Each structure stands twice: as structure tokens, then as C-alpha cells.
Amino acid sequence: MTTTDPTLSPTGPVGDRRSSGAGTGTRGTRIIGIATIVAMGWLVAFGLGFSPEDRDQRESVRLLYVHVPTIWIAYLAFIVTAIASVMYFFGKKKSLGWDRLAGASAEIGTAFVAVTLVIGAMWGRLTWGVFWQWDARLTTTALLFVTYIGYLAVRRLGGTHEQRARRSAVIGMLAVLEIPLVHWSVRLWRSLHQEATVLGTDGDVSMDGLMLFSLFIGVIAFSLLYVWLVMHRTRVMAMEDLLDDRDLDEALAARHAEAEPVVAAGNEEGTA
């Protein structure tokens, strides 16, 4: 299993994929995890070390190597959520795997938007002198953040897994309807009610080659981080659902059954 398989059944591979019975890691996630660490190391080296400081923004330009990739990946995550919601809702099998993929992706996307907003506020303080501007893009991003917090709250409403899946799929699809409307209205609001804002362009129309490369590494690093987190999170969700579905005894029995070979092997080693 090297990829997240959305159609993973709760009773299937979760158990037999693992031999130790602990954790959600597989060879695939470990490879991606190591790649993430390497890419993050590169990002630190290039972002903080090799890339030059900006003529106008000075050192604060380095914040953009996190700010820009996180929001791109967050958009990607929300697109994945929307697609997975559609797949669940209109799919014939009603596979909960799609629902879990949607939920995991939304959680990580929301976390990434939070990072974007915090880093952006820091950058804004350094560059514009204020943490926040009522700029169209900022305002839309803030509302996007709240919208997906609402989506995550809907996932926690309770009920059966199928109820959760159907409700959150509907909300996941409605968010796609909502976000463009919010963006359109906020843009109209700002364009009519504020003279040309100072913050429009960053001044770096021709971006330095090394800066662009650092940004590129940032995108790679955060993409890997996203994939790694989603894989683990969907598996944790599958396990949570599994736990909910079965009686506790049954779940315990299953875990014992999984752990037995390891325990037996351990005993053999101990006695030898």
C-alpha cells in the first residue's frame, strides 16, 4: 500500500497491512515521510540560507516560502475534499473511504490555511506595518477558513457514519458554491469602496531565480507533508470508525489477534 486507497474498507487492509498492530505507517508513508523531512531541510537551507534577501522587503520575504505553498496546498486540499464529497455522494458504492478522504483533506487544508493566515499577518506587520488589511483576498481567505471550520464541526455532529458522510458531503459540495460567491462579493466590496490599495503587488514582478527555486522547494515540501498527513489521517479515521462500529470487545479481540504473532515472537526471543 503506497497510496491512499479511498475505497479502503474498514475491516480490510487496516488490520492485515500491519504486523505489529501499532500505528498507521506503512512502507509508503515512511518513504514519503523521509522525503518530506529531506524537502523541509532543503526548504530551510534555501529559504533561510541560500536565497537572497529582497530589495524592498528585506529578510521578511523569506516568510513567503511558507506562506505561498501552504495556501496553494490548502486550495488543493479543499478541491480534494470537494471531489471526494462528490465521489461519495454520487458514487454507487457509498464508500466511506471517500468520506474519510474528504474529512482528512479538509482538516489538513484548514490547518494549512491557519498557517497561511498567521504567517501572512506576520509578513503584513513587517511589510505594511499592520497585521491585517481588508483586502479582498485576505477577507476571502478568512471566510474560507471559517467555512471549513464549520465543515469540520458538521462532521462531529454525531449519528452513524453514513449520516456523517452524507451530511458532510453535502456541506463539502455547498462550500464549492459558497466560496466563489464570497470571493466575488468581497472583491466587489473592496473595488467599490477603497481606492487602489497599496498592497496589490509585492514589487517583485521579476522574481529572482533563486527565490523562485526556494518557493518551488517549498511547494514540493508542503505537498509531500500534505500527502503524508492525509494518508495517516485517513487511516486513523478508518480505525476510529472501526472502533465505533464493532463492540469494544470485538475490537479488542481483533487487536489481540493482530498482536499475538508479535507477542509470541517476542516470547520466543525472550526464552531463547
Binding residues (CB under 8 A) for other proteins: these are 89, 143, 146-147, 149-150, 153-154, 157-159, 162-163, 166-167, 170-171, 173-174, 177-178, 181-182, 184-186, 188-189, 192-193
Cβ-based nearer residue to other proteins, 77 or 231? 77
Cβ-based nearer residue to other proteins, 50 or 184? 184
- Least distance in angstroms from the C-beta of 164 to other proteins: 10
Cβ-based nearer residue to other proteins, 92 or 270? 92
Distance, CA of 56 to CA of 173 (rounded, Å) = 41
Cβ-based nearer residue to other proteins, 9 or 163? 163
Distance, CA of 196 to CA of 192 (rounded, Å) = 10
Q: Which long-range contacts (CB under 8 A, 24 or more apart) does 31-36 make?
A: 31/2, 32/224, 32/227, 32/228, 32/231, 33/228, 35/224, 36/221, 36/224, 36/225, 36/228
- Least distance in angstroms from the C-beta of 149 to other proteins: 7
Name which of 69, 104, 98 is nearest 83 in CA terms.
98
Q: Identify the bridge partners of residue 58 per DSSP, sorted by sequence position.
A: 54
- Least distance in angstroms from the C-beta of 52 to other proteins: 39
Grid coordinates representing 270 are: 525472550
Q: Decide: helix, strand or coil at residue 58.
A: strand
Cβ-based nearer residue to other proteins, 96 or 221? 96
Q: Decide: helix, strand or coil at residue 269.
A: helix
- Least distance in angstroms from the C-beta of 89 to other proteins: 7
Helices 27-44, 209-245: inter-axial angle, 10-degree rounding:
150
Q: What are phi and psi of 15, to 5 degrees?
A: -75, -55
- Least distance in angstroms from the C-beta of 96 to other proteins: 15
Name which of 98, 143, 140 is nearest 237 in CA terms.
98
Cβ-based nearer residue to other proteins, 50 or 189? 189
- Least distance in angstroms from the C-beta of 235 to other proteins: 27
Grid coordinates representing 223 are: 505537498
- Least distance in angstroms from the C-beta of 83 to other proteins: 17
Cβ-based nearer residue to other proteins, 150 or 266? 150
Contact 203, 160 (CB under 8 A): no
Alpha helices (runs of H) in 194-247, residue ranges in sequence order: 209-245
Q: Decide: helix, strand or coil at residue 188.
A: helix
